[in-house]
Every structure is written in structure tokens, then in C-alpha cells.
């Protein structure tokens, strides 16, 4: 349920309500808005029939949240969430954030070469998996901790921020140490223990939609992270399974507007996994920006033939640079910046 506060509610009144809600065994989350604040209340709400909160000074009204996701809902927070990354970036603001780099971290020198190229084209975050969720156990599984160290070196040399995947709760401490954004992959969208662990951190999280998950299920997974207190959360549409098998997955372009209509969380699009084909990445990226996404996650490799994973969907650095130029025009047309 949501407690809508009066615009003139004082700090003392808010503290009093928070204390009362906690005493009833419920969890309050205060969301400060420009005009007024609201308090989201999570837990068994039956107790509130005995103890109505409408009577408290500072309360304007109390509303039930009908959706099963509460903290992720637009009702809980009317203004879009802006997630701060590092010291200067904000996801969910006017600027569309471009995260680019190889699917997997391979050699250190290669990673740094890619980092420099994507940076000069305008990317602000370097992507690269050190822990790789591969369909086959015989395929390259990632460099692990060594890969995280290469990412750290690339960050040091370029100033790019780092997004990398966490697959196992046991690797949380090292991924948290090196990453600026912790990625939860499509295959782990419903790994609830992993979601709780990243929820207890305050590091920004990029939660990818499962390939066979609905948007509502994505929002329920988001709720796991939010309910542990981590509001530095971005969602990611990365393509879903459909009957169409020409492309690796089908980019659900609708998901962008649907997420915006249901939630305050920023939405990133991954056109690389969504298409599986480098020749389709450009049009999918432009469509995503036109549809209102807050960022893109794009795979780039200078030698796709030799890439240890996902070469077929990786853009050459020069193609990525051309795409960035086009994206700037699309962004401008929809009132955004890249
Ligand atoms: C990735 O981004 O490298 C990745 C494995 O993506 P997904 O989890 O969407 O398949
Ligand atoms: Mn990949």
C-alpha cells in the first residue's frame, strides 16, 4: 500500500509514520518526490484495518497497490528513477547511456584496444563478461577473477565505467569490487538468491529480462532487489523467444513503453543478443532509442571471427562508431542526447 503525504508534511510527521509502520511489523520505504513524498508499505497489510493510517498528521490518503510488484510500480514513484553510476553518469535522465565492449573479456591488450575505440566513439561504460553463462559446458566459460582485473586495467586507462555479469553469489565480493554496474543475466533473472544478494548491495544493478519471461515477471524480479533496499536498478530488454528463428531472439520493442507505463525504473536495450546478427544491430538500436530506452548495451569486437563468444552479433569498432553518429540524430529527434 502507498501512503500519500500532504505537500506540507513535516520531517517529524514522516518519521512518526515510519516508526508506527515499523512497529506494526511492516516495511516502510520513503520516496521523496518534487511536490510531495510518499511511503510505500510492504508486508501483511491486514494489520492496517485495526490501525488506520489516514488519521496520522501529514497523511493525505492511503491507497492500495493492486499490482503484485509494489516498489517497482509507477504508483510508488511517479518520477522516473535516475541511477547514478560512478561519479558523473546518470541513467534515466536526458542522456542515453551507451555501454559497449566484447561479449567476453579475452586478452588484456585486446580489451584495452576495444575500450579505447568504444570510448572514442562515445560509449561511457565498458561491457565484458568475466563469468559467462554458456549454453554448452564445453564452450569458453570466461576468465573469472583474471577477467575482472583486465576490466579494472581498462577502466584505469580509459576512464570508462564497467558493467560485468555476476552469476554466482560466491563471486559477489569480487564482482562488487571491480564493477560499477553488476549485471544479472537473462538466465539468472529468477535466481532469487542472487537477486537478494545484489539487493543488499548499493551498487547499480542491470537486471536482464529472461528469454522466456513476461514483463510482469521481470518486474517481480526487480521487486526482489528493491525490497532488499537497492534502488540503483536498471532493467534490460534483451530479446525473447518467439516462433521466429531467423533472429537469435525477438527484440520486444513494446517492452520499452510497457515498462515506462508500469514502472519508474530505467530501461536499457541489448540489440546484440536480441538479434544475434551484427547486420541487424544498427536498426534494432535506432528503433530502441526512438521508442524511448534509457541506454543500450552493445557487443563490439575488432575480430569477430576469432571472438571467444558471440562474434556473429558483434559490431566492428568502425561500425559501432558509425552507429553512434546515427543514434545521436535519432536521440535528438526524440528529445534525448547521446
Ligand atoms: C551478456 O550480456 O553477455 C549475456 C550473456 O546476455 P544475456 O544474459 O542477455 O544472454
Ligand atoms: Mn554475449
The listed CATH number (3.10.20.600, 3.20.20.70, 3.30.70.1140, 1.10.10.10) that belongs to domain 2-63: 3.30.70.1140
How far away, in angstroms, is 310 Cα from ligand 2 center?
Answer: 5
DSSP code string of 25-43: T-EEEEEE-SS-EEEEEES
Record the pTM: 0.95
User: Which residues of the chain are in CATH 3.20.20.70 domains?
Assistant: 83-333
Q: How many angstroms separate the CA atoms of 117 and 165, rounded?
A: 22
Residue among 236, 261, 262 nearest 249 (CA) = 236
- 103, 134, 296: residue to mutate for ligand 1 pocket, most atoms within 8 A of CB: 103
Q: pLDDT under 50 in the chain at which residues? A: none
The residue whose CA is least distant from atom 4 of ligand 1 is 185
Termini Cα distance of the chain: 37
What's the rounded Cα separation, in Å, for the pair 314 and 326? 18
Beta strands 37-42; 27-32: pairing state: antiparallel
Q: How far apart are CA 164 and CA 176, in angstroms?
A: 10
Phi, psi of 15 (to 5 degrees): -60, -40
Class of domain 83-333: alpha beta
Residue 49, pLDDT score: 67
CA of 293 to the centre of ligand 2 (A): 20
* Residues shown for the chain: 338
CA distances, 287 to each of 39, 213, 325 (Å) = 36, 22, 14
- What nine digits make up the cell of 129? 563478461
Residue 50 has a pLDDT of 66
Query: Chain-centre distance of CA 142, in angstroms?
Result: 22
pLDDT of residue 53: 83
Classify residue 319 as exposed, middle or buried by CB count within 10 Å of its CB (0-12, 13-18, 19+).
Answer: middle
Can you tell me the distance from the alpha carbon of 195 to that of 167, in angstroms, rounded to the nearest whole number?
10
Please name which of 140, 164, 146 lies closest in space to residue 107, comparing C-alpha atoms. Answer: 146
**Where are the CATH 3.30.70.1140 domain residues in the chain?**
2-63
Res 65: pLDDT: 83
pLDDT at residue number 44: 78
pLDDT number for residue 1: 86
Using a 6 Å CB cutoff, which residues line ligand 1? Answer: 103, 129, 133, 185-187, 208, 238, 270, 273
Amino acid at each position: 500500500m502507498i501512503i500519500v503525504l500532504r505537500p506540507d508534511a513535516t520531517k517529524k510527521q514522516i518519521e512518526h509514520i515510519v516508526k508506527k509502520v515499523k512497529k506494526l511489523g511492516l516495511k516502510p520505504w520513503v520516496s521523496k518526490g518534487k511536490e510531495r513524498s510518499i511511503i510505500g508499505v510492504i508486508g501483511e497489510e491486514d494489520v492496517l484495518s485495526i490501525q488506520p493510517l489516514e488519521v496520522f498528521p501529514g497523511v493525505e490518503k492511503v491507497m492500495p497497490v493492486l499490482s503484485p510488484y509494489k516498489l517497482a510500480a509507477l504508483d510508488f514513484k511517479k518520477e522516473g528513477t535516475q541511477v547514478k553510476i560512478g561519479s558523473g553518469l546518470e541513467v534515466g535522465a536526458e542522456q542515453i547511456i551507451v555501454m559497449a565492449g566484447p561479449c567476453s573479456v579475452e586478452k588484456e591488450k585486446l580489451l584495452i584496444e576495444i575500450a579505447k575505440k568504444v570510448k572514442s566513439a562515445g560509449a561511457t561504460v565498458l561491457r565484458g563478461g568475466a563469468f559467462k553463462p554458456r549454453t554448452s559446458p564445453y564452450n569458453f566459460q570466461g576468465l573469472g577473477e583474471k577477467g575482472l582485473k583486465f576490466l579494472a586495467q581498462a577502466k584505469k586507462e580509459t576512464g570508462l565505467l564497467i558493467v560485468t555479469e555476476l552469476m554466482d553469489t560466491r563471486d559477489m565480493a569480487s564482482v562488487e569490487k571491480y564493477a560499477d554496474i553488476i549485471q544479472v543475466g537473462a538466465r539468472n533473472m529468477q535466481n532469487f538468491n542472487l537477486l537478494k544478494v545484489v539487493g543488499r548491495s548499493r551498487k547499480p544493478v542491470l537486471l536482464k529480462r529472461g528469454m522466456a519471461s513476461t514483463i510482469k515477471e521481470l518486474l517481480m524480479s526487480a521487486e526482489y532487489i528493491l525490497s532488499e533496499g537497492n534502488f540503483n536498478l536498471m532493467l534490460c530488454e534483451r530479446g525473447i523467444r518467439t516462433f521466429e528463428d531467423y533472429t537469435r531472439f525477438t527484440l520486444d520493442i513494446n517492452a520499452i513503453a510497457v515498462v515506462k507505463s508500469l514502472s519508474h525504473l530505467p530501461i536499457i536495450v541489448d540489440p546484440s543478443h536480441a538479434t544475434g546478427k551484427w547486420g541487424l544491430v544498427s536498426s534494432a538500436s535506432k528503433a530502441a532509442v526512438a521508442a524511448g530506452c534509457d541506454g543500450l548495451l552493445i557487443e563490439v569486437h575488432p575480430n569477430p571471427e576469432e571472438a571467444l563468444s558471440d562474434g556473429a552479433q558483434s559490431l566492428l569498432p568502425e561500425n559501432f562508431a558509425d552507429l553512434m553518429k546515427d543514434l545521436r540524430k535519432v536521440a535528438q529527434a526524440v528529445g534525448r542526447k547521446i
